[in-house]
């Protein structure tokens, strides 16, 4: 009786394994035949109830059915896995001989480009290019520039103070002081760099922007020398006629002081957000170095005189490339940057 059931189980299960059309279907057949509650388990239960003398021969049969079914199951399962792998390989092949996508070269930021041009221009006129720290002392940023502690001019530049009493430099002018002290007169230097101000950001104002400081100290330096260098600089950069105006301007570190404005190159002078509808853009404050500043740089103002200017490099780049919002300059948007 049990023998017949075992043979029947072997025959029907082998047939089901053979006709299984998917891995799930194969698994169902296995559970029905070989699972914990499957047919073979039920037959085994009955087998346990038999008297010992009947068990020997039936036991052999039971084992052989079990082995047959398990090995057939494994063989069929392996076949499905091989088929799946082959299908995946067919789907996911990769031609490693295809040419790689081209490497897209980067480009120099417009501020870097204009800075490099100004450096070339000034080095050809005998100026040294100096660097200074972005974290400055109050002495270099203010005191040595004739801006004493209580002077209202400190309010002109909203300062980021550090907890150790130092500050983020609000302009590149402290490099004048470092230059005078390190090199002494006669002196020709420029100092490009990043500066920081705690102020409201709009189309023409950033909290972090670039300036380029210039200074020349020699015997008998006058406003005529200053104007000559300013004109040389502007024609070198813009390669076209630029309308400029010089206004009196107040900076404690120069006397007399001027504001050099250029007619807005974004709107041609008719008024826009960059020039705040005035038609003019403040680009380059300048003047003759104040005697107190020469003195704090260790230079005798009775023997030497000089001019200095502080160019808004970020704004210069905006004028040069027709960029109408300063926030784009350091926004990091590649669609903007790849245009240059």
Which positions lie near ligand FA5, rule CB under 6 A?
157, 171, 173, 197, 199, 205-206, 209, 211, 251, 253-254, 257, 282-283, 285-287, 308-310, 312, 314-315, 326
Contact 179, 213 (CB under 8 A): no
- If the CB atoms of residues 2 and 244 are measured against ligand FA5, the closer one turns out to be 244
- Alpha-carbon span 316 to 261, nearest angstrom: 11
Q: Shortest gap between Cβ of 170 and ligand FA5 (angstroms)?
A: 7
Q: How many CA atoms lie within 13 A of 300 on its CB side?
A: 3
Nearest 5 degrees, angle CA 206-CA 210-CA 211?
Answer: 120
Cβ atoms of 185 and 122 closer than 8 Å: no
- Could you give the CA distance from residue 12 to residue 311 in angstroms, rounded to a whole number? 93
Nearer to ligand FA5, 127 or 209 (CB): 209
Provide, rounded to whole angstroms, the least separation between the CB of residue 177 and ligand FA5. Answer: 11
C-beta closer to ligand FA5: residue 134 or 199: 199
Measured from the CB atom, is 146 or 157 closer to ligand FA5?
Answer: 157
DSSP state of 184: -
Residues 286 and 260: beta-carbon distance below 8 Å: yes
Shortest Cβ 173–ligand FA5 spacing (Å): 4
Residue 132 or 312: which CB sits closer to ligand FA5? 312
Q: Tell me the closest approach of the beta carbon of residue 156 to ligand FA5, in angstroms.
A: 6
Q: Which residue is nearest to ligand FA5 (CB)?
A: 312
- For residue 312, the minimal CB distance to ligand FA5 (Å) is 2
Q: What angle do CA 148, 153, 158 make, to 5 degrees?
A: 110
Query: Which one, 221 or 308, has the nearer CB to ligand FA5?
Result: 308
Q: Helix 52-91 vs helix 2-19: angle between axes, to the nearest 10 degrees?
A: 0
Shortest Cβ distance from residue 257 to ligand FA5 (Å)? 6
């Amino acid at each position: 009786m049990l023998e017949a059931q075992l043979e029947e189980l072997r025959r029907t299960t082998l047939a089901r394994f053979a006709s299984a059309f998917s891995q799930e279907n194969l698994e169902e057949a296995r559970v029905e035949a070989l699972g914990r509650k499957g047919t073979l388990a039920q037959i085994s239960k009955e087998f346990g109830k038999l008297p010992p003398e009947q068990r020997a021969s039936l036991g052999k049969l039971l084992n052989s059915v079990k082995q047959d079914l398990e090995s057939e199951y494994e063989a069929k399962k392996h076949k499905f896995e091989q088929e799946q792998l082959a299908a995946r390989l067919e789907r996911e092949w990769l031609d490693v001989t295809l040419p790689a996508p081209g490497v897209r070269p980067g480009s120099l930021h417009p501020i870097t480009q204009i800075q490099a041009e100004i450096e070339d221009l000034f080095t050809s006129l005998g100026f040294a290019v100096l660097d200074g720290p972005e974290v400055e002392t109050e002495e270099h940023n203010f005191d040595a520039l004739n801006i004493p502690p209580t002077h209202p001019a400190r309010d002109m530049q909203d300062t980021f103070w550090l907890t150790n009493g130092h500050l983020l430099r609000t302009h590149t002018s402290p490099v004048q002081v470092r230059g005078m002290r390190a090199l002494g007169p006669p002196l020709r230097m420029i100092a490009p760099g990043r500066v920081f101000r705690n102020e409201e950001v709009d189309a023409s104002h950033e909290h972090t922007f670039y300036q380029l400081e210039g200074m020349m100290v020699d015997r008998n330096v006058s406003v005529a020398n200053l104007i000559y260098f300013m004109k040389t600089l502007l024609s070198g950069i813009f390669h076209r006629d630029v309308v400029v105006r010089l206004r009196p301007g107040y900076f404690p570190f120069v006397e007399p002081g001027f504001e050099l404005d250029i007619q807005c190159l974004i709107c041609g002078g008719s008024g826009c957000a960059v020039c705040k509808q005035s038609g003019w853009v403040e680009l380059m404050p300048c003047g003759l170095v104040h005697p107190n500043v020469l003195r704090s740089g260790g230079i005798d103002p009775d023997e030497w005189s000089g001019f200095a200017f502080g160019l808004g490099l970020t704004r210069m780049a905006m004028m040069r490339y027709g960029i109408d919002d300063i926030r784009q300059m350091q926004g990091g948007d590649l669609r903007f940057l790849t245009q240059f």
